[in-house]
Amino acid sequence: MQLVKARFTRVLMSFALGLALLAPIPAASSESSTLATRNVVLGAFLEEAFALSGANAATHEFFPKRLNVAEGDDVHFDVGGFEGVFILPSNVGAQDWIDEFASTPTDPFSFVIEDPDEAPGNLKGNPVIALGTDATCGGTSQPPCSVDGTGVHSSGLFPTGDFLTYDVTIDLNEGDFVWVVNSVFPDQRMKISVVDPADRTSQSDIDAERTNAFKRYADAAAALHTKLSNKQTRHRTRGGGRVWDAWAGYDTQHFDLLDFYPQRLKIKKNDRVRWHFDSLIDEIHTVSVPRAKALQTAANVFAPVCDPDGDGGAGPDNPPDLEGPPFCSNVAQLEFDIPAGFVLPRGNGIYRQGNNLESSGARGGGLPENPYTLKFAKRTSNQGNPYICMLHPFMRGRVVVK
């Protein structure tokens, strides 16, 4: 679990896949010794992959991954999807800093933190990461935040309109550097180095890197989606039972597929399905059935609430009293709840339909990646047993039992 690596809180992330369309990138600044602005993109839904094969594919990378700027230059971030910009202090190693300050729920910059006034297994999102570190700069119609190397800077995770934008001024000396981390997917990072003005990274090079990468990623995602959709494997146990393989999403180094594979399985009564999570580098998923019951828990994942008596009080959480961020009139009361019903496994591993919830709990992306096996003990119609990922409810699968 880190910063951000407390990855199951990526929880945020994926509810907002539809936000991942990128805003147009402004024209590049002229190359000169005067101050310049460089436009950086973080994350995107790979639309071409969907057009080619119906794949729900996304990348969480920065474009570019290495950026040279001059002292006093501005950097404008366009953020696609539900992710955020987190800038570390200058001249420190990214992993070393994360290990020290953001690796467990007790650390100040962990993406998820403990929720002492809830039952064991419940967590909450860190408001510093979710809302950002400074509400007076960086956003739309605000001055850029000054990155002077002495502290951290978080864009927050909530967009203004359809997109999240974040502007900073690099107030560092030539030779200094800072690491920029994706708040939700901490393995995705960018290094900004301060150089002589003549050695800046050009905007045309940034745009070309992004365009070429999107094309490569979309082609590869479409092909992998088709391959996995048609893949059906099974084996017999020593006792003669039959086990079918399935995959809860599929991650690669550069992009993630947010679908179940195969989306529809046809099995026999008392067969088992074993879902695999070992490809999940970034994403976190659950396998949760029945769909209707799972959606009730999904609706409360990272839900904002106001806690008037704080972690030390026994009083209940209240619904938000503001429609949008910061959600609570007193921002100190804000919590983003992560229920144990999402985090922990549920059920006994045998599904007989009805209203009993069977769930793998959150797996992958830095959490346990061991497979989840579920026995289906009752025949169904051709509509089968629909199931979802509670973190990404648009991910849906179906098991038909004959």
DSSP annotation string for 281-344 = SS--B--EESHHHHHHHHTTTTEEEE-TTTTT--PPPB--SSSSTT-SSSGGGEEEEE-HHHHS
Please state the pTM of the whole predicted model.
0.87
Q: Beta partners for 257?
A: 57, 250
Cα-trace Rg, the chain: 22
Identify the CA nearest to 184 among candidates 267, 91, 81, 265. 81
Q: What is the pLDDT of residues 209-228, one digit of tens each?
A: 999 999 999 999 999 999 99
Sketch out the chain's domains with CATH numbers: 7-223 (2.60.40.420), 231-301+339-401 (2.60.40.420)
| Cα–Cα distance for residue pair 359/349, rounded to 1 Å | 8
Q: Which residue has the tokens 């001059």?
A: 70
Tokens, residue 285: 């998923």
pLDDT at 304: 93
Tokens, residue 293: 């019951």
Tokens, residue 63: 């474009």
Q: What is the pLDDT of residues 225-263, one digit of tens each?
A: 999 999 999 999 988 899 999 999 999 999 999 999 999
Tokens, residue 125: 């999102």
pLDDT at 296: 93
Query: What is residue 151's DSSP assignment?
Result: S
Mark 102-118 as b/e (b = at least 16 C-beta within 10 Å).
bbebebebbbbbebebb
Which of 28-37, 205-214, 287-296 shows the lowest per-residue confidence on average (mean pLDDT)? 28-37
Going through 148-225 in order, the beta strands assigned E by DSSP cover 153-154, 164-170, 177-182, 189-194
Q: What percent of the chain has pLDDT over 70?
A: 92
